[in-house]
Amino acid sequence: MVKLFIPVGLLLLGWLMMLLLARRNEKKVRSEWETLLTPAGEKIFEHARVEIQTNTCMVGVAMQEAHAIKRLGDIDEALRFLNIGGEVVERFTPNLLSLLAVMARFSRMISAVTPVNPILPSNFHLAELVNLAHLHNILNQMLISTKQRFRLKLFVIGKGVSIASRFLVVRIKNIVSQRSQADQEWDEIVGIGNDFQRLSEESIQSFRSLLEALSNDAARALAQQIYLSSGPNATKSLK
């Protein structure tokens, strides 16, 4: 029995040593990662960034305005703003998930990527997203390469976007159909809206990291995949 425990113990010890060495070198790698986007890459990134931020900002503004107007007592106008926010979420979520899926495919082409920061549970309001972030932190500790961690983060962001979007849409529809004025329900909507915006920001950061790691040819191919063009005739975006 002792003979069995010895190799298992050595295997675990070796795995822990690799994790410790990876953590110790990560700061050095982060400081040495000075890759900048090419002008074409910067243009691709800006197209995506503006599209994502515009939509998530619309969601945030609609949620905040609805909440503020409801406090003033105009429930009809508050519900109108709430509906607007829900419609933006429903329209934009498939586009964001599509972008994340394309990013995951193109991440197979990279040999290295800037070190990945795990998603922090403290950044979220919805319990399901807090649990997802905790799981991400655990799995992130088990992976060695930054490429694996990057792909894991894309997967977690995608799951988080789906969860936040579903909860937002369902709860907005419930409030509107019941014309609810319960403060707890409205506060919950604002909190989930902030979660959705945070996940969108994580998507933007990840997109930049991917573009920094891709070759020029791969970046151009990525632009074509998401209906972006760096040329003068560019007319399409993530829509």
Rounded to an integer, what distance in angstroms lies between the CA atom of residue 115 and that of residue 30? 6
How many domains does the chain contain in total? 1
Residue 230 belongs to some domain of the structure:
no
Domain that residue 147 falls in: 38-225
21 lies in some domain: no
pLDDT at 238 exceeding the cut of 50: no
Instruction: Confirm whether 135 is domain-assigned.
Output: yes
The pLDDT, as a whole number, for residue 110 is 84
Coil/strand/helix, residue 230 = coil
Q: What is the pLDDT of residue 47?
A: 82
Sign of dihedral through CA atoms 52, 53, 58, 61?
Answer: positive
Residue 145 lies in a domain: yes
Residue 107 forms part of a structural domain: yes
Residues 86-98 have a mean pLDDT of: 94
What average pLDDT score do residues 160-182 get? Answer: 93
117 found inside a domain: yes
Task: Determine the Cα–Cα distance for residues 76 and 80; give it in Å rounded to an integer.
Answer: 6
On the question of pLDDT at 13 being above 50, the answer is no
pLDDT-derived band at 36, boundaries 50, 70, 90: low
Please state at what angle helix 183-213 crosses helix 39-72, rounded to 10 degrees.
180
pLDDT value, residue 75: 93
This prediction has a pTM of: 0.77
| In a domain? residue 174 | yes
Band (pLDDT 50/70/90 cuts) for residue 2 is: very low
Cα–Cα distance measured from residue 181 to residue 102, given in angstroms and rounded to the nearest whole number: 41
Residue 77, C-beta contacts closer than 8 angstroms, at least 6 positions apart: 69
Burial of 43 (0-12, 13-18, 19+ CB in 10 A): middle
Q: What is the mean pLDDT of the chain?
A: 80
If one counts every other C-beta atom within 10 angstroms of the C-beta of residue 186, the result is 20
DSSP 228: -
Kindly tell me if the per-residue pLDDT of 76 is higher than 60: yes
> 128: exposed, middle or buried (C-beta count within 10 Å: 0-12, 13-18, 19+)?
middle
Residue 7, domain member (yes or no): no
The pLDDT of residue 144: 82
Q: If you count DSSP H runs as helices and E runs as strands, how many of each does the chain have, helices first?
A: 7, 0
- At 127 the pLDDT is 95
In the structure encoding, which two tokens stand for residue 220, read together? Answer: 């151009």
pLDDT of residue 191 exceeding 90, the answer is: yes
Contacts of 224 (CB under 8 A, 6+ apart): none
* Count of other CB atoms within 10 angstroms of residue 103: 24
